[in-house]
Amino acid sequence: MERIPNGKYTKEFREEAAKLVIDGGLSIPEVGKRLSVPPSSIGNWVKAYKNGKLGEVGKKHRILSEGEMELARLKRELAEVKMERDILKKAAAYFAKEPQRGAR
């Protein structure tokens, strides 16, 4: 997973992520995967939300621009596509080497 560069998520974003875990019944890794956020961050947000201290999380980081968030998302998507391409290449090479059964 390509992580968003050193930045700050908005309070609303952190709150919604925590609610997905607490109220939505999703697991922390699933929410992290859906939002492209490390599961450790989601876990920290859930703990802070339960303790009522979510507003104090991430005060030392800068807010990311929409362009930076889009760039990070596209980099993550590109990495996934490259991984899928490599898997398909290996599968094609494997099946090309295997002798054809039933061919006359």
Domain assignments of the chain as residue spans, ordered by start: 11-97
pLDDT score for 1: 47
Confidence of residue 90 (pLDDT cuts 50, 70, 90): very high
7 pLDDT higher than 80? no
Lowest mean pLDDT: which of 9-13, 45-49, 73-77, 87-91? Answer: 9-13
Cα diameter, the chain: 72
- Predicted TM-score of the model (pTM): 0.50
Topology of the domain covering 11-97: Arc Repressor Mutant, subunit A (1.10.10)
pLDDT digits (tens, 9 = 90+) for 26-79: 899 998 888 888 899 889 889 888 888 777 776 666 677 888 889 888 998 999
| DSSP per-residue letters across 38-92 | -HHHHHHHHHHHHHT-GGGTTTTSPBPPHHHHHHHHHHHHHHHHHHHHHHHHHHH
